[in-house]
Amino acid sequence: MTIVIKYGGNAMTNKTVQKQVLESIAKLFRSGIEVVLVHGGGPAIKEILDQSGISFRFEDGHRVTDAVTMSFVEMALSGTVNKALVSGLLSFDCKAVGISGKDAGMALVEKRYHKRILPDGRTETVDIGFVGNAPEITPDLIRLLLNNGFLPVCSPVSIGKNDGETYNVNADVFAGSMAGALQADAYVVLTDIDGLRKDINNPGSLLSSVSLGELDEDSSFIQGGMIPKIDSCRHALQSGARRAVILNGTKQNSLEDFFIHKKSFGTQILP
């Protein structure tokens, strides 16, 4: 079995929880499951920019990333966060290797422009800097590592298809693309809630299983930070992943309970 795990956001900020998550990932690895870990790192980016006195702004929630900012983003993602995760996995006897989308030209992207809707209904194109669209992933390097018993830990920093520049890619988007490129048996999104709810305020409305067709019929209940997660699940499934799973990464043992002990929880999304 090959699974791609996307890890980031609130599920990453608590160090105790992070240790639990990495221990669970190591257990999957030692059980014989091929694991690819893709991570984000928004809080680490903000911290390193603040410490360096680098000001930045957002356009409709999208960080504008100029060349200077991008150098610090890469430092945070491919350096600080990536190597901390690798070190954590190594401490649990897991042969982790830290890479980014730039390595071996694995993830090629085109520049992303933000479409802003003006008060009069017209659309304006906004340049948000070195931010990339969903990458074209050539998974040869990942397969080489997996085939030789390593666990790849991937930063979403990628390389421009047309200009060779360094671009940041939303980690959800990157992970979904990776899962599709690998034809993964499962694409796992770790978050801080129990799964996808029909009513965000009602835990009893949790969907244990849903298909893309059902989401096409009604996706009005998907809001906020769940939107990019569901979009990444959709991209993964449409690109070849067999299923997507949304799990609460803050709950201890959730990964091994789901994949090793076959317990049923979270939300499964099927093609």
**Tens-binned pLDDT, residue by residue, of the chain (271 aa):** 999 999 987 667 788 889 999 999 999 999 999 999 999 998 899 899 999 999 888 887 778 899 999 999 999 999 999 999 999 999 999 999 999 999 999 999 999 998 888 888 888 898 999 999 999 999 999 999 999 999 999 999 999 999 999 999 999 999 999 999 999 999 999 988 889 988 888 888 899 999 999 998 888 888 888 888 999 999 999 999 999 999 998 888 899 999 999 988 999 999 9
What are the chain's domains? 2-49+66-105+137-154+170-270 (3.40.1160.10)
Distant-in-sequence, close-in-space partners of 261: CB < 8 Å, separation ≥ 6: none
Helical (H) or strand (E) element with 39: strand 34-39
User: From CA 179, how far away is CA 19, in angstroms rounded?
Assistant: 24
Per residue in 73-97, pLDDT tens?
999 999 999 999 999 999 999 999 9
3-state helix, strand, coil in the chain (%, to 5): 40, 30, 35
User: From CA 140, how far away is CA 135, in angstroms rounded?
Assistant: 15
User: From CA 245, how far away is CA 129, in angstroms rounded?
Assistant: 32
217: number of Cβ within 10 Å? 8
Strands 58-59, 62-63: pairing kind: antiparallel
CA–CA distances in Å: residue 11 to residues 24, 117, 191, 206, 246: 13, 32, 5, 19, 12
pLDDT of residue 40: 92
CA–CA distances in Å: residue 63 to residues 55, 69, 72, 78, 153: 11, 10, 13, 18, 24
CA–CA distances in Å: residue 233 to residues 23, 58, 156, 227, 237: 24, 25, 16, 10, 6
User: Which pair of structure tokens corresponds to residue 236?
Assistant: 């993964």
User: Which pair of structure tokens corresponds to residue 28?
Assistant: 């999957």
The reported pTM is 0.93
User: From CA 43, how far away is CA 13, in angstroms rounded?
Assistant: 8
User: From CA 184, how far away is CA 256, in angstroms rounded?
Assistant: 17
